[in-house]
Amino acid sequence: MNADNAQIDTGVLADHQIETLIASGGISASSPILNEQIQPASLDLRLGAIAYRVRASFLAGHGRTVADRLDELTMHKIALTGGAVLEKGCVYVIPLMEYLSLPDGMTAAASAKSSTGRLDLMTRVITDHGVEFDRIPDGYDGPLYAEICPQSFSVVAQPGQLLNQIIFRQGKTLLSDDELRAVHARSPIVSGDPVISDGLGFSVDLQPRSGDLVGYRAKRHTGVVDLANLDHYDPADYWEEVRTSQGRIILDPGAFYILVSREAICIPPDCAAEMAPYLAMVGEFRVHYAGFFDPGFGWDGAGGAGSRGVLEVRCHEAPFVLEHGQVVGRLVYERMSAEPKALYGREIKSNYQGQGLKLSKHFKST
């Protein structure tokens, strides 16, 4: 039965509200939900014990369940207990441990976690009767599944690992451009003058203050990455350094890059944000993975003093010249239903607070 949401104000749910949703049965799981899964404005989702290797990516569609589609499309099943290799270029569907029974008026949205995106590990949440990836409709009552397709590196995965995160929205949460300008006037959300149009625009940094290292490009032939190994792998075995002294680089078709935003970004405690790709008409590339930014990211009060946004970029059909300062994406800000008890970078251990150009936490710091 769907949980009651009578006491929740409009906005993205904060950590203590997520705890209440768990207590009321709106979120349940096959194994008890851990405190460390609860972030300031999101919940980390855990992989289950079985992966289904499928012929192709899919959405369940109206009137159909994911289990129905798995019966049609599964090639074979893989037990993840003890670790199993997910091959790059292959598509897998893994039931997640968490189950939702959302109240009427509440929706949810999922995204890859930061380290997942930086591995070029495409992962999206799908649901029964779903017609969109990563979007859970009003009042959804059912299981969650992760669709995973490693792009650059094969990975070793096991049950309980956290590749996806989910936020919960009560009512209309997006800030208008005028509301976002008011937030910036009260507490600056970006270094320099903001470019606000359907969110906060941000650009790429190809003229670093020191040196000429501007990014990394994934190598085509590498070993596997065990997702359990942190600060473990030599970046040189998996990445080529991208350097320029000219303020521009040429993106190669099909290649995956880690770059960084020129601007330092801030998410104040009463806001959350989601990265959205910039319009395709600006060039033959896209900022590949959307992602959530919790309250406190880059915020002075949480030790951030502004944090750069790391950009996961894939070039499409034609080589493309990317210039320093070119606008490549935007942050869509949302109001919080309440301020969280713990902020990103302060009470919550945060790998990327105050970050610059940075690979995922699986690689040794250079």
- pLDDT tens readout for residues 221-240: 999 999 999 999 999 999 99
Q: Quote the pLDDT of residue 366.
A: 67
Mean pLDDT on 310-322: 88
Closest listed residue to residue 310, CA positions, set 322, 293, 296: 293
Query: Mean pLDDT, the chain, as a whole number?
Result: 90
Closest listed residue to residue 89, CA positions, set 151, 156, 155: 151
Q: Quote the pLDDT of residue 303.
A: 46
Residues 6+ apart with CB under 8 A from 162: 37, 44, 45, 46, 47, 113
- For residue range 189-220, what is the model confidence (pLDDT) as tens digits? 998 889 999 999 889 999 998 999 999 999 99
For the chain, first and last CA: distance in Å? 51
Give the C-alpha separation, 366 to 353, whole Å: 17
* Planar angle of CA 107, 113, 114, nearest 5 degrees: 135
What are the structural domains, with CATH classification, of the chain?
11-170 (2.70.40.10), 177-335 (2.70.40.10)
Closest listed residue to residue 362, CA positions, set 186, 78, 152: 152
Q: Quote the pLDDT of residue 306.
A: 73
365: exposed, middle or buried (C-beta count within 10 Å: 0-12, 13-18, 19+)?
exposed
- For residue range 10-54, what is the model confidence (pLDDT) as tens digits? 999 999 999 999 999 999 999 999 999 999 999 999 999 999 999
Closest listed residue to residue 184, CA positions, set 345, 333, 11, 302: 333
Q: Quote the pLDDT of residue 318.
A: 87
Q: Quote the pLDDT of residue 285.
A: 66
Q: φ and ψ at 87, to 5 degrees?
A: -80, 140
Q: Quote the pLDDT of residue 365.
A: 85
> What pTM value is reported for the model?
0.91
Q: Quote the pLDDT of residue 18.
A: 97
Cβ pair 54, 92 in contact under 8 A: yes
